[in-house]
Amino acid sequence: MPAPVLDCEYNNQAMFEMTPMMEEVLDQPRALADVRKYYTSPGAIPFSTLRRVVTHWPPTVVFTGMGSSLFAAYPAQAFLTSVGIRALVWETAELLHHHLRILKTDTLLVIVSQSGETVEVTRLLKHLPKRVGVLGVVNVESSTLGRRANVLLPMPGSGYRGRRASAGASEGSDRRHRRILRPPALPLADVERRGPFHGLSRRADV
């Protein structure tokens, strides 16, 4: 039986056809640069407001999210604990059902969510004491999380596509979330601000 004849022109075209996932992956360097530029600009993070949402400074910092939004918090947690700030990372469902009582007025709750409408996040917000300070890292400012957060760190130019976002989009948001979480970690640790990122921003480029 003769071997099938392959249409090389068709195969080459299919091989290099740009897909939404490839577009997201290729756009990540620009998106990360935009996030860094935005959050290193003066006034991008309201430090004075950040201090007012808790009764003790530095606060105990609790990071929460689901999936890649949760994983994005680990570098910020590692930095804070390295300078002596108590910082915890809990999956939102676990926090809601098992650790809610740890959240007090001296706790800063950092909620990371792409849509701001994750089921676990919205349920957590319903049961959250009103006096608990919330810092929201979210793509959609008009979302439930965006409206509840005392301090909001939006995702500049995220182009969020909803819960069916591609793997590339999820990975891109994960990297942008990690970069956004670094700037507020610095004032939490009372690091001298010679520019909101200083040496930490250079490590983020690696």
pLDDT at residue 32, rounded to an integer: 77
3-class secondary structure, 29: helix
> Which sign does the torsion angle of CA 139, 67, 131, 87 carry?
negative
The amino acid at residue 155 is M
Position 112 scores a pLDDT of: 92
Rounded distance between C-alpha atoms, residue 137 and residue 126, angstroms? 18
Residue 66's alpha-carbon distances to 2, 107, 128, in angstroms, are 53, 20, 17
Distance CA 30, CA 196 (A): 20
**What is the Cα gyration radius of the chain?**
20
Q: In what order do the strands lie in the sheet with 151-154?
A: 87-91, 60-65, 107-113, 133-138, 151-154
Evaluate the omega torsion of the peptide bond into residue 29 and state whether it is cis, within 30 degrees of 0: no
pTM: 0.72
What's the rounded Cα separation, in Å, for the pair 90 and 109?
11
Quick one: tokens of 43? 């006034």
* 112 strand-pairing partners: 137
Q: Are 59 and 96 in contact (CB under 8 A)?
A: no
pLDDT tens digit at each of 206 positions of the chain:
555 555 555 455 555 678 888 887 788 788 778 877 877 788 778 888 888 999 998 899 999 999 888 888 898 899 899 989 999 999 999 999 999 999 999 999 999 998 999 999 999 999 998 899 999 998 889 999 999 999 998 876 554 444 333 333 444 455 555 555 555 565 565 543 433 334 334 444 43
pLDDT at 31: 77
Interatomic CA distance for residues 31 and 34, integer angstroms: 5
Q: Strand 87-91 to strand 107-113: parallel, antiparallel, or no bridges (unpaired)?
A: unpaired
pLDDT of res. 175? 52
- Residue 17 confidence (pLDDT): 78
Domains of the chain: 58-204 (3.40.50.10490)
Could you tell me which of 115, 116, 91 has the C-alpha nearest to residue 164?
A: 115
pLDDT of residue 105: 94
Q: What's the pLDDT at 46?
A: 83
**Cβ atoms within 10 Å of 116's Cβ, excluding its own:** 27
Q: Which residue has the tokens 């040496």?
A: 199
Q: How far is CA 118 from CA 9, 52, 182, 188, in A?
A: 44, 27, 23, 26
